[in-house]
Structure 1
C-alpha cells in the first residue's frame, strides 16, 4: 500500500501542474462538455468529427491543442481517482485482517470522498463557464488531495523521526499557523488566477499609479453576473485589488514562514530537521523569485506553471514539518 500511496502523491502533483498549465493556456473550456469532449470520449480530430462537434456546440469552435490539454488533465485526474479508490479499498481490507499492522482507514476514506467532490468541481468548472469560486475551489481541492496523500504516505512510513530535537516541539503552534498562512496565500493565488488578475499590476513592490485610491475590496471578492467568466468578468480596480492583496499575502507568508525557519533552526540538533528546514527555506526563496519574475517578465507560461508547482512543494514541506514536530520524542 505504501508504494501505491507514493505513486498517488506523484500523480496528484502532476495533476496540479497540468491543471495550472491548462488554466494558463486558456484551455479550461477546451472541451465545452464533461467528462467527454464535444460528445466524444477523446478529442475530435477527423474532419467529420470536428464538423459534428461544432454543430453540437456552435459557440465553441474546436481548438485541438487546447482540447488535448484539457483532456490530458482529465485523464490524469481520472487515473488518480482510481488510485485513491484502490487505496481506500486496500486500507479497508487490511483493517479487517488482525495480522496486519494498524492501517489508517479514515484518511483514505476522506480522500475518496474528497476526490469525488473534486471531480464534481471539475465538471462545474466547465458547465458553469469558469465561475471563479468554482475554479478556486477546484485548485484548493487539488492542493488538499496532494497534501493529504503526502500525509498518508508519512503515516505509513516504517521509519520514524527520533527524539533528537525535543525542544522543537515548542514551535508546533507556530508551524501550524505557518501552514494555515500558506494555505490562505494559495487560496488568494487561486482567486487571482481564476479572475485573470495575474497581470493587473506590472510594477513592484505593489502596483503602478495611484493604486491606493482605486482599491475596491467589496468588488474584488464579489462574483459579477456573466454568461462566461473566461478572461475575467471584473473591472480593472477589482483585479488590481486582488493582485495587491495577493502581494501583501506573499509578504506576510514570507515573514511567518521565515520566522518559523529561524526559530526552529536555532534549536535544531539533528541533521534530519536541519535538512527539512533548509528545503523549506530554498522553496520559499524560489517561490518569491518566481512571483517577482511573473511580474517582471509579464507572466511567462513556464514561470507561472513553475510558480504553482513550487507553491505545492512549499505546502508539502510544511505538512511534513508539522507532522514531524507533532511526533512524540
Structure 2
C-alpha cells in the first residue's frame, strides 16, 4: 500500500512540475508572438505548415525558386525581396508553438492518474489540449488570410483561454502543497472587484491587438523609416486603449486594496498581490515608452507579455481566494511550504 502511494505521489509530483513548465512555455509562445508582431514578421513564412515550401526555411534568396517573387509576392505584404531574419523569427515562433502543443499533450497523458482522485484535473487538461489545438489551427488561418485582424484578435483570445485553463489545472493539482493564507471578512466584494478587473484587462488586451493593427496600417501608409510619426498617425483605437488604461489602473488599485485589507497573514496570495503591484507599474511604464519613444520594437512584446502575466496572476489570485471551494478534501492552510 505504501509503495502504491509512493508511486501515486511521484506521478502527481511529475504532473505538477510538468504543469508549471507548460505554463512557462505558453508565456514563451506569447513572447515569441509579440516579437513576430513587433518586427512585422507575421508573413515571414508565407505558407503553412511549411515555410516557402520547405520544412527547414531558407537562409538566403538563392535557396528559393527563381520565380519566388511571383509565387509569394502578394503574401509578403510588399516585401518582394527575401528577408531571412523575418522568416526565421516566424519559423522559431512556430517551433515554440509546436513544442507547447507537445507539452500540453504530455500533460493530458499524465493527468489520467488524477481520474480517480480529482477528475477536474483531467478534464481541465483535456480542455487545454483542445484549446491549444484549436489555436494552432487558427494560426494557420491567420497565415492563410494574410493576418486578417479579426483572426489575429481571436488568436490572442484563445491564447489567454489556454493560459487560464492551464493555471486552473496547475492550481488544483498544487492544492495541499502550498500555503494559502486565510481571508478575513466577506470575500464577495473582493471576488467581484477581482473578476471585473480580470474581465476589463482581457478587453484591454484585445483592444491592444487592434492598436497593433492600426500601427500596421500606418506603416503601410508612411513606412518603417517614419517610426517617430506612428503614434501621431494612429486613429481612435489608440486613444480608446490609452483612456481605458486609466479605468484598468483604478480597478487594479481597488483589487489590491481589498486583497491587502482582507489578508492578515503572509502566504501565496500575498505574494501574488505584491507581484501584481510591481507588474502593473512596469506595464504602465512600458506603455509610456511605446507612446513617447517612437514605439521601440523591444518594448512591444514586453508590453504584451506583461499584460498576459498580469491576467494570469489575477486569475490565479481569484482561484486561491476561493480555495476552500476549489480544492476539495485537501488542507490548504499549511504551517509551512511543502516540497513541490
Q: TM-score, normalised to structure 2's length?
A: 0.79
Report if aligned partners of 1:197, 1:242 keep a CA contact under 8 Å in 2: no
Give, in angstroms, the shift of residue 189 of structure 1: 0.8
The residue aligned with 1:261 is 256
More divergent stretch after superposition (184-193 vs 13-22): 184-193
8 Å Cα contact 2:184/2:264 also seen in 1: no
Q: Which residue of 1 aligns with 2:295?
A: 299
Distance of 1:285 and 1:27 partners within structure 2: 29
**Structure 1: distance between partners of 2:34 and 2:313:** 20
- Aligned partners of 2:214 and 2:235 also within 8 Å: no
Q: Kindly indicate whether the alpha-carbon contact (under 8 Å) linking 2:180 and 2:320 is maintained by their aligned counterparts in 1.
A: no
Distance between the aligned counterparts of 1:199 and 1:144, measured in 2?
A: 30
Task: Give yes or no for the alignment of 1:18 onto 2:18.
Answer: no
Q: How many residues align?
A: 294
The answer for the alignment partner of 1:82 in structure 2 is: 102
Kindly report which structure 2 residues correspond to 1:168-317, keeping only aligned pairs within 5 A, or say none.
169-170=187-188, 171-196=190-215, 239-272=234-267, 273-317=269-313
Judged with a 3 Å threshold, the aligned counterparts in structure 2 of structure 1 residues 63 and 162 are, in CA distance, closer, same or farther, namely closer
Deviations 1:152-203 (A, max 9, x none): 2111114244452232623112111111111111111112113327989xxx
Structure 1 residue 148 displacement after superposition: 2.2
Higher relative contact order (CA 8 A, sep 6+): 2
1:281 partner SS: helix
Equivalent pair of 1:197/1:243 in contact (CA under 8 Å)? no
> Hey, what does 1:223 align to over in structure 2?
none
SS in 2 for 1:105: helix
SS of alignment partner, residue 19 of structure 2: helix
Q: Could you tell me how far 1:293 is from its partner in structure 2?
A: 1.2
Aligned mates of 1:247, 1:79 — CA distance in 2: 35
Among 56, 67, 73, the residue aligned to 2:87: 67
Deviations 1:75-112 (A, max 9, x none): 00011111111222222x3245x5x6656122111111
1:104 corresponds to which residue? Answer: 121
Number of the residue aligned with 1:212: none
- Verify the 8 A CA contact 1:198 1:299 in the aligned structure 2: no
Please, which runs of 5 or more residues in structure 1 have no aligned partner? 201-229
1:217-267 alpha-carbon deviations (Å, 9 max, x no partner): xxxxxxxxxxxxx99xxxx99942101111121111000111111122123
Match of 1:159 among 162, 174, 177: 177
